[in-house]
A and B are shown apart, each in its own frame.
Chain A
């Protein structure tokens, strides 16, 4: 029987705003399958986002929703999680939202290791505002504000998360749709701050400026560059040049923030939760 996505979709919210060929919808479907696998209760799950095409996702999912300010999802979500540690808190957003304006909140959420899952849809561009370059736009690629090519070096989101202290970091792509839900399931099950970066596409504002002839070409590119971590172990540095690793890149057991804070409460003479 076909999977029933409808049960997690907020009534009356479809059709969505995304352009034909946009990868954000593929990520949303993966996320819904993951929620179903885990049997997440809608009213015990908070989905928090900032602003951007990616950040519109929570509007379509019938859970507790916070659609907040551009870049601030991690901060808002931290407030939710501290007040309601029993809730499953999932953040979603784009590369611009999470690593430019929200970069500071992002690294500090990683550092605290608070038990939330952050799904970042990295389409290498500010899609919603018409295609300005983001911190992940590849060097010398074109965007509406880099007509001569992007002079900035770019972030590797997964490495940034690991460096900042996230205790679960995974990467998938919009092409490898069947892997998305599996990564998200493991991320949510992990106790601590987990990051799932999904390499995504924006045909409308990035693809057309960078000579991708079609969405299929953009998807094929994701397929070509992705190398599963296991396969990479057997490859030489030359073979790995220009590739990106996918799968679970990092996992570590470390004290989680809400539990650590309980100890502070107990030391201060407050009641255990």
Chain B
């Protein structure tokens, strides 16, 4: 068994990337994720890997696209304003069906905003932040262990579906230190990368990586293919945590750091004899719609809590339709706006 370590969430991301076989990292400094490039600039050269600090986030995402096109495992990381700059490249990767891992240790906005924790990038992440109508898989860790495990998973999902995968966390999860068991890379059967632009055998055709389709009906067929993959993801890749939901009269739903705070409030509610549970989506795309439908069989009240003015709540409402009433509590990011358990307990009492 692996030993237990005490590390930051950002370090856990970097460690998982190395364990997953990622040897190429392209980034640009920005708080609060700079521990990731700093760790990888130190460790990758030891493993014959390479760390490049690009001239901008636009440079970094396109270097990732290039490396990925050759079939290697590669990643980039940034924080909200930098992730905005990567959207062009992410759209091209989605269109060209290139795997790659993008980590967003998000901060508050819009514009420069501030460096405090925020979940205001939900829409940008799950709705296709760039142009052209695509999705990427979005994983939302809530602990240092999950930062490690989900980063590892992100590389596999990226290869399986030939898609960019985003790990979306906030500075609370990125900066906090917790115990971590750095498990070895799991055995997975991955599809052969027969599309890479390098390493073809003599006599076989050259490969083209592109997102331009000019032939009659080609682009439409390509889009149907991409959207077919999204349907498979919806069917197979939804992940969520259910906590005390079996008998719940009210289910709190939240992702990432806020779900941790909500859990404490739920335990307080249970002590007070209130039947409250938690549904925490771990995949934000695909959104675990079925899990919401399942719990609304017996529970008719949902309280969605986010560190923003209400974004995921739209997907929650779509998921439960009219089968439950959906309430929202959230605060826009700003210094000191992280909710405390007592505050969330008040909200639970209000809607219970």
Give me the interface of A with B, judged by CB distance under 8 Å.
Answer: 51, 67, 69-71, 100-101, 103, 126, 129-130, 132-133, 135, 144-148
Contacts and interface: CB of A to CB of B under 8 A. Distances in A.
B171 to A, nearest CB: 14
A101 B37 CA distance: 17
Q: How large is the interface on B (under 10, 10 to 19, 20 to 34, 35 or more residues)?
A: 10 to 19
Contact of B31 (A69, A71, A130, A144): A130
A130 B42 CA distance: 16
Contacts of B42: 147
Q: Is the interface of A mostly helix, strand, loop or mixed?
A: loop
B30 interface: yes
A101 B56 contact: yes
Given A129-B31, A148-B45, A101 B55 contact: yes
A144 B34 contact: yes
A126 B37 CA distance: 14
Interface of B: 28-31, 34, 37-38, 41-42, 45, 51, 53, 55-57, 81, 111-112
A70 B81 CA distance: 9
Given A69-B111, A100-B56, A101-B56, A132 B45 contact: no
Contacts of B53: 132-133, 145
Given A100-B28, A132-B37, A133-B53, 16 more contacts: A67-B112, A69-B112, A70-B81, A101-B28, A101-B55, A103-B55, A129-B29, A129-B31, A129-B34, A130-B29, A130-B34, A132-B34, A132-B38, A145-B29, A145-B37, A147-B42
A25 B93 CA distance: 44
Nearest to B56: A101
Interface hub of B38, B55, B111 (most chain A Cβ within 10 A):
B55
7 contacts: A69-B111, A101-B55, A101-B57, A132-B29, A132-B38, A144-B38, A147-B42
A51 B34 CA distance: 16
Contacts of A144: 34, 38, 41
A231 to B, nearest CB: 34
B187 to A, nearest CB: 33
A100 B55 contact: yes
B55 A69 contact: no
A191 B57 CA distance: 34
Contacts of B30: 129
B109 to A, nearest CB: 11
A126 B38 CA distance: 13
A147 B40 CA distance: 10
Contacts of B45: 148
Given A130-B29, A147-B42, A69 B34 contact: no
Given A101-B56, A145-B53, A126 B29 contact: yes
A23 to B, nearest CB: 20
A69 B112 CA distance: 7
